[in-house]
Structure 1
Amino acid sequence: MKVSVAMATYNGENYIKQQIDSILSQLGSEDELIISDDHSSDRTASIIEGYMKEDPRVKLFMNDEKGVTSNFENAIKRTQNDIIFLSDQDDVWKPEKVQTVLSYYEKNPQVLMIMSDITVVDNELNPTIESFYAYRGSRAGVIKNIVKNSYIGCAMSFRKELKQQILPIPRNVPMHDMWIGLVADMKKAALLIPEKLIYYRRHNSTVTTVENNSTLKEKVIWRFQISTLLIKSYLKNR
């Protein structure tokens, strides 16, 4: 199985080299790292271009819109290979991540999406939360993840067959990762594996958060919206 990594970047010059290095060391010659940049104003794009000069597997595209969801959608839609991994710009992948996940796909041909556990760390990669699963009570299930989302994109991967069902990502869902997880859940094709395969770095410039800081009104609205969207998606793709 050939691998595509879909990474979204925005002003990530401080940590992006460490993340790219941790990814490329695990990819084969026919794999690819697709990066969508959300109009960074720092050296992020030039750092990526430096990699592109040395490694044809690295490809950079600019996001036509603005925002996290559209940035990931732009990367995902440009992927070509069998298994698509999502990646943040400031984490570090453990050396066994890609092969561990691929082995689960080989053993579970019915599974469309796999998410691993992660270790939350600070700037210097010191653990602050040993297990995201334990922290969020992560498990698969449509109702469970509408009531309390436990999907996190940086730990996700999915088969290319899921692309046509998740794209375009609705702009009125809270986050892209919740949408991807729930679409896979609707098909009973989501698998959460116990291995901690990422150091998930949290720092002052982090775009996404571990916590959900939405108001009660916002939570009620998006739960209704995403439930409606999931029903429409299921009827369209069944």
Structure 2
Amino acid sequence: MNEPPLLTILMATYNGDKYLIAQLESILAQSYQNWELIIRDDNSTDTTQKIITEYLSKDKRIQQLQFGDLHGTACRNFSQLFDWAYQEQKQYVLFADQDDVWLPNKIEQSIIEIEKEEKHYGFDIPLAKYSNFKFIDEAGKVIDKRLKLPSKLTLQVLLTENYAWGCTMILNHTAINLIKNIPPESVNHDYYIALVVSAFGKISLINQDLVLYRQHQNNVSGNVDNMSFSSRFKRYFANSSVMLKPLTQNYALVKSFYERYSDKLVDKNKQLVFSFLTGYKAGFFKLLKILIKFGIFKIGFGKNVFYIYTLYLYRKKVADAIYNSSGK
């Protein structure tokens, strides 16, 4: 009987002592047990390191990584972890946030689903799966709000917004080898991964809740309070300038992706991404025409109204900021 594959879980920690034990215990309680947990701590000043040390002695599958010299953000931390996983030629990779809770079948269902994809598409195709999840509050109580996720992700969708959250993802070996490195300036490691895999392989939904995604005031991203219609209305119309930063980060990420992979993209995808990037510089109505031509939209009518409005206001500022800083 063949031994089940070893799955590598990458966890980036920083001052996470309040919730870290619950996350570690949820990983130990998984129904699928052939895993290794690689933790990289970003110079925590609370008792996070003490907790990590305790669990290192509790289970030999848990290891702490001292690798790389990038620090200061979650993306940089995960970037260094991913660099290590690529160098070590890991077969499957999952990402764990320090403050979530994994449901008991999270790992088992992830490997079942991605192995199905490998059997269908072949082992030479970059593959990623992402799952549904439930929001929980600081005390671990389920929040009665849902985020509707698409069944699959395409470049048209991902050019404007990511729906594959890192804590829900699993990647196969071919995807890891294709990505090699997550640029630390990409801001969100999961967004970059989703872009690459969608361009060259397949990324699709596991339609099950596999993670309890914790909401608290220190969430790096994905705060449920920012997803309601009223919250979006307030941000976009009452104080729309707050959207300049995420819009700029989004554009910079897509530009970085294109510069790295343009010579490998098929003609259709190359034209799609190039048109999106150049449309920003050409003018609002030129960009709008490109969005319509290629079907580059967010999911949901209201979100697209807000998105187009912010493009009208800030497209030029985004392009100027990006190209003046890069000189290109």
TM-score range relative to shorter protein? 0.7 to 0.9
Asked whether the equivalents of residues 165 and 237 of structure 1 are also in contact (C-alpha less than 8 Å), the reply is no
Moved more, 145-154 or 165-174: 165-174
Asked whether the equivalents of residues 77 and 163 of structure 1 are also in contact (C-alpha less than 8 Å), the reply is no
- How high is the sequence identity, in percent, across the aligned residues? 27
C-alpha distance in 2, partners of 1:152/1:33?
A: 19
Q: State which of 163, 178, 181 in structure 1 corresponds to 2:176.
A: 163
- What whole-Å deviation, never above 9, does each CA across 1:105-152 have from its counterpart, x for those lacking one? 1211036111001111101222225433x2x66751112122122221
Extract unaligned runs of 5+ from structure 1: none
Asked whether the equivalents of residues 138 and 150 of structure 1 are also in contact (C-alpha less than 8 Å), the reply is no
- What whole-Å deviation, never above 9, does each CA across 1:148-177 have from its counterpart, x for those lacking one? 222211111111322233342223323111
SS at match of 1:116: strand
Is 1:68 matched with 2:95?
A: no
Asked whether the equivalents of residues 138 and 151 of structure 1 are also in contact (C-alpha less than 8 Å), the reply is no
Q: Quick one: structure 1 residues 127 and 88, their matched pair in 2 at CA, closer, same or farther if it must change by over 3 Å?
A: same
Relative to the length of structure 1, the TM-score reads 0.88
SS at match of 2:195: helix
The alpha-carbon deviation at position 90 of structure 1 amounts to 0.9
Q: Quick one: structure 1 residues 20 and 61, their matched pair in 2 at CA, closer, same or farther if it must change by over 3 Å?
A: same
Match for residue 55 of structure 1?
59
Asked whether the equivalents of residues 116 and 155 of structure 1 are also in contact (C-alpha less than 8 Å), the reply is yes
Match for residue 245 of structure 2?
218
Match for residue 159 of structure 2?
146
Q: Quick one: structure 1 residues 201 and 29, their matched pair in 2 at CA, closer, same or farther if it must change by over 3 Å?
A: closer
Is 1:189 matched with 2:202?
A: yes
Match for residue 37 of structure 1?
41
Match for residue 172 of structure 1?
185
Asked whether the equivalents of residues 114 and 170 of structure 2 are also in contact (C-alpha less than 8 Å), the reply is no
Q: What is the alpha-carbon root mean square deviation over aligned residues?
A: 2.4
Q: Quick one: structure 1 residues 89 and 188, their matched pair in 2 at CA, closer, same or farther if it must change by over 3 Å?
A: same
The alpha-carbon deviation at position 72 of structure 1 amounts to 0.7
Match for residue 78 of structure 1?
84
- Which amino acid counterpart does residue 233 of structure 1 have in structure 2? R
C-alpha distance in 1, partners of 2:76/2:136?
A: 26
Q: Quick one: structure 1 residues 10 and 220, their matched pair in 2 at CA, closer, same or farther if it must change by over 3 Å?
A: closer
The alpha-carbon deviation at position 222 of structure 1 amounts to 3.2
SS at match of 2:82: helix
Q: State which of 113, 126, 130 in structure 2 corresponds to 1:115.
A: 130
Greater radius of gyration (CA)? 2
Higher RCO by CA contacts (8 Å cutoff, separation 6 or greater): 1
Extract unaligned runs of 5+ from structure 2: 228-234, 236-240, 266-328
Q: Quick one: structure 1 residues 138 and 10, their matched pair in 2 at CA, closer, same or farther if it must change by over 3 Å?
A: farther
C-alpha distance in 2, partners of 1:172/1:138?
A: 28
The alpha-carbon deviation at position 64 of structure 1 amounts to 2.5
Q: Quick one: structure 1 residues 195 and 59, their matched pair in 2 at CA, closer, same or farther if it must change by over 3 Å?
A: same
C-alpha distance in 1, partners of 2:112/2:164?
A: 21
Would you tell me which structure has more strand in proportion to its own residues? 1
Give the number of aligned pairs. 236
Asked whether the equivalents of residues 119 and 198 of structure 1 are also in contact (C-alpha less than 8 Å), the reply is yes
Asked whether the equivalents of residues 162 and 194 of structure 2 are also in contact (C-alpha less than 8 Å), the reply is no
C-alpha distance in 1, partners of 2:145/2:178?
A: 33
C-alpha distance in 2, partners of 1:45/1:98?
A: 25
C-alpha distance in 2, partners of 1:11/1:84?
A: 23
Asked whether the equivalents of residues 96 and 197 of structure 1 are also in contact (C-alpha less than 8 Å), the reply is yes
C-alpha distance in 1, partners of 2:194/2:207?
A: 16
- Which amino acid counterpart does residue 229 of structure 1 have in structure 2? S
